[in-house]
Chains A and B, each alone.
Chain A
Amino acid sequence: MKLPVYIGLLDEAEATLASSFRVVADGHGDEPDVHFILQTFAKKCDAHREALKPVIDRYGEDVEGEEEHRLTANGVKEVRSGPLALMLDLQDLYVLVSHIDVTWMMVGQAAKGDRDKDLQGVVEQCEGDSELEIRWLQTRMKQAAPQALLVAE
């Protein structure tokens, strides 16, 4: 059974995303909407990890010898500077969130296959948050792109 690999992957990815949200939030304090909303999103990641705890207790989060199958996306360790900084940082977050979103989808499929109602419930709650994060990132990047690409000094 390989589901524990993916559960471990999710837990790790949510942790990476939470810290990335916080890095970008702190680094873009002059963009108040970004600053506050990303902090809210980071808290959601924390909540997702909490929700995963009982799942991990049941399944474990690792399978011996499967480490090389860990699919990891690098988190954002520091924000960039310059006129494109905000957009590039948001785009990095977008990649991370999308990665998590599709991972939740796959875990959700496994939960259905396993008729695991508890895990299905966790997935449902968390998938909605990922989807919202994607929509917000798209909304904000759409707003920022023309100014950043055409006019910024």
Chain B
Amino acid sequence: MTDRIADIWGERTPHGSGQAWPERVDQVLAEGLTDGDVDRWVQSACVLCSNGCGCDIAVKDGKMVGIRGRAADRVNRGRLGPKGLYGSWQGEAHRDRLTRPLIRVDGGLVETDWDTAMGRIVERSKELLASKGPLSHGFYTSGQLFLEEYYALGILGKAGIGTPHMDGNTRLCTATAAAALKESFGADGQPGSYADVDECSAVFLYGHNMAETQTVLWSRVLDRLDGPNPPKLVCVDPRDTEVARRADVHLAVHPGTNLALMNGLVRELFANGWIDEAYIAEHTANVEQLRSVVEPWTPEKVAETCGVDAADVRRAAEIFGTEDRVLSTVLQGFYQSAHATASACQVNNLHLLRGMLGSPGCGLLQMNGQPTAQNNRECGADGDLPGFRNWENPQHVEDLARLWNVDPGIIPDWAPPTHALQIFRYVEQGSIGLLWISATNPAVSMPQLERIRHILDKDSLFLVVQDIYLTETAQYADVVLPCAAWGEKTGTFTNVDRTVHLSEKAVDPPGEARSDLDVFLDYARRMGFTDRDGQPLLDWSGPEDGFEAWKECSRGRPCDYTGLSYDKLRGGSGIQWPCTAEQPGGTERLYTDAEFPTAPEHCESFGHDLLTGATTGETQYKATVEPGKAWLKALEYTPPHEEPDADYPLRYTTGRTAYHFHTRTKTGRSRRLNGAAPEPWIEMSVEDAARAGCQEGDIARVTSRRGSLEVPVRVGDIRPGTVFAPFHYGYWDTSDGGRHRAANELTVTEWDPVSKQPLFKNAAVRVEKLRSGDGPSKAPDTTASRRATGARR
């Protein structure tokens, strides 16, 4: 295996259309160890990006000492990315690990025992429930936990406390994926499969820097590109990413203009007759509205609005319109922007107009940013009801009440579940008095950080943080609970192409750390949550009980897990839901029969207006739905609310680097990964840097209406007018507590009206040189952030 810091995607194993992706097993062991030293290998899957690669953990003397990809796994065929190889067990073995609970005493955090820590939480929780009721409680969780943990949290929040204030940081990455799928198809769940990479004749990546966000999936694409009959590749991204560099067409749109481009692409399909009239008539609704909304969006108008060439718009549309098997993937560049849901729906529309769903190569993946984001959406620890149930459907609420044996009245169904930014707003206003944050770090990952710090620091807030390190957020906590990490607990999780993996406990957690599941079960027990018969609401003894309970909850729903078991997931590869008695091997692709879950009694959502997020409502939905048909939803383009002006002339956008995940809680503690990208930077084009008087490595101040950054400049091949910053960096590892390095100091508190996803990808900023640097910035030269080559088209 090559050094995968330098060679991120590893050696090529090319394959042609329709051929199986060859195996290639990647492995790293601790220095000085060989295979013979390993006591045992424990089955798992990697959690350091959303891809969900099957892997095995090496254990020696009760410690994790290595990782290797599982050759048999359908997701990765043995490969792992740099984060999995160098940051998985290494990112958890740091001496900073929390090993005992902490409580705040006289302003500082001091170690204590579990009884004392849980006692404090339960005391405050009971006091607030008695004095203010369930709406005083909020839960903000993660895309990092296991299915069983989310389901436990979903039950205790919705049927124990009865609060609608539950969300995950999935709101910051995948909420739009879920929203777009619900709006178009009636329920969440990806239609496509990763295997579509092997089958397609064209790949479209919309706002998806797959080369860095999902390095193993990008290896699969590279293996097609370097094999016989490679697919055509189209990239929509303002940066000159590795994807853009390999693309046949690169549409480097201005941030905030995705919808204009998408309306233009859809229009070209109509204008050139590249549509499947029969499929549209039989399986979709609303085509005339779509046609009229996109009508004004000629390639020339798109070119003017988005800052791209009209010829490139035509060429991209022609590829989509004339290739016979197109795979589309969508991610944050679309989701964290204005009109996020509307833009993502237009991708769904392209596939519906061509009837290109449910068959090999015709994949549609509204991607996730995190490995278990799908589970959060399924299990109801975020803004959804468990099992893709519809909060506006009383029958669905009754189902849950029956399943949990509780009064349906306790399940909050009177309004949409509260989204993350609204939860923080309620804390800001003092009406949420207890906020429980698990496995996420909003002090770095939320928009407009100065405001978030103020909220976390409020006297009226009792803040519980459970995590594996003392994050920037944990510093504000009243109680910190030390948790077990990946490899230290057992559970399942599901990736974006619906593949369910079992991750087994390999070693004990350090010190007194406990699994998140144990913490939630302990809290439910101490709170005395019971069902209608006075029995404990959560009587599980461990994760497998949770999985079995979840299977019942998923029965008959689109995400049916009833054909799965821990035993079935052991030994081989992951399995895709729905997996039932009738389909025991799982399901590769959804909607093969073009039958969509839009019937009112079955659908997950009655839908929204894409401009405002107003709910459609049961009456109107029932009056207009054509059960079983997908919706072709459309929205007219309008410019984003914050546009560059004389004071803030540049467009600011954020994203990832291949070497880090989230706020670097784990990856920043891996020597190899940290060495590859040790500090933040901003990327500017040659022209913009010259205008600001900046050279490579100079320290610049970037200012928006919300705050400022002081970081080195990387002069790169980003499109002129746009400034990029990686979002991973907080301040836990700075000596001076320096806060002017987190990308979200600058971002705006605004969200997509339907999916409630914040707009991280568009703000107006100005850049000034602060001082000369003492050499080039430490931005990676191996990725989209590499120094300008002048190759930009």
Contact between A146 and B613, CB atoms less than 8 A apart: no
Chain B proximity mask over A123-153: 1 for CB below 8 Å, otherwise 0 = 0000000001001101100110111001111
Interface of A: prevailing SS: helix
A78 CB-CB contact with B under 8 Å: no
Q: Cβ of A146: which chain B residues have Cβ within 8 Å of it?
A: 135, 414-415
Contact between A37 and B612, CB atoms less than 8 A apart: yes
What is the CB-to-nearest-CB distance from A146 to chain B, in angstroms, rounded to a whole number? 6
Among A5-13, A28-36, A47-55, A98-106, the one that faces the other chain is A28-36
C-alpha spacing A20/B135, complex, angstroms: 31
Contact between B135 and A142, CB atoms less than 8 A apart: no
What is the CB-to-nearest-CB distance from A84 to chain B, in angstroms, rounded to a whole number? 12
C-alpha spacing A138/B429, complex, angstroms: 22
B418 CB-CB contact with A under 8 Å: yes
Contact between A151 and B133, CB atoms less than 8 A apart: yes
B405 CB-CB contact with A under 8 Å: no
- The residue that B430 contacts in the complex, of A31, A32, A135, A153, with Cβ under 8 A, is A153
* Best-buried of A30, A39, A145, A146 by chain B (most CB within 10 Å): A146
Contact between B751 and A139, CB atoms less than 8 A apart: no
- The residue that B431 contacts in the complex, of A30, A138, A139, A151, with Cβ under 8 A, is A151
Chain A proximity mask over B738-759: 1 for CB below 8 Å, otherwise 0 = 0000000000111101000000
What is the CB-to-nearest-CB distance from A81 to chain B, in angstroms, rounded to a whole number? 12
- The residue that B418 contacts in the complex, of A39, A132, A143, with Cβ under 8 A, is A143
- The residue that B615 contacts in the complex, of A30, A36, A40, A135, with Cβ under 8 A, is A135
With A32-B750, A151-B135 given, is the CB distance from A136 to B613 under 8 Å?
A: yes
C-alpha spacing A33/B425, complex, angstroms: 12
B622 CB-CB contact with A under 8 Å: no
C-alpha spacing A80/B753, complex, angstroms: 24
Tell me the nearest residue of chain A to B136, going by C-beta. A151
What is the CB-to-nearest-CB distance from A6 to chain B, in angstroms, rounded to a whole number? 27
- The residue that A135 contacts in the complex, of B431, B614, B750, B753, with Cβ under 8 A, is B614
With A142-B415, A153-B429 given, is the CB distance from A135 to B609 under 8 Å?
A: yes
C-alpha spacing A102/B411, complex, angstroms: 36
Q: Cβ of A132: which chain B residues have Cβ within 8 Å of it?
A: 609, 611-612, 614
A121 CB-CB contact with B under 8 Å: no
- The residue that A152 contacts in the complex, of B416, B421, B429, B613, with Cβ under 8 A, is B429
Tell me the nearest residue of chain B to A37, going by C-beta. B612
The B610-646 residues at the A interface (CB cut-off 8 A) are 611-617, 638, 641
B interface residues, how many (CB within 8 angstroms): 33
A83 CB-CB contact with B under 8 Å: yes
B426 CB-CB contact with A under 8 Å: yes
B132 CB-CB contact with A under 8 Å: yes
- The residue that B133 contacts in the complex, of A135, A138, A139, A150, with Cβ under 8 A, is A150
Q: Cβ of A135: which chain B residues have Cβ within 8 Å of it?
A: 609, 612, 614-617
Tell me the nearest residue of chain B to A135, going by C-beta. B614
Contact between B614 and A143, CB atoms less than 8 A apart: no
Q: Cβ of B421: which chain A residues have Cβ within 8 Å of it?
A: 32
Nearest first, the 7 closest Cβ-Cβ pairs linking A and B are A136-B614, A135-B614, A151-B431, A136-B612, A151-B135, A32-B750, A143-B415
23 contacts between A and B (CB under 8 A): A32-B421, A32-B750, A33-B751, A33-B753, A36-B641, A36-B750, A37-B613, A39-B641, A40-B612, A83-B429, A132-B609, A135-B615, A135-B617, A138-B614, A139-B416, A139-B613, A142-B414, A145-B415, A150-B133, A150-B135, A151-B133, A152-B429, A153-B431
Given contacts A40-B638, A139-B613, A143-B415, 10 further A-B contacts (CB under 8 A): A31-B425, A32-B749, A132-B609, A135-B612, A136-B609, A143-B416, A143-B418, A143-B422, A146-B414, A152-B430
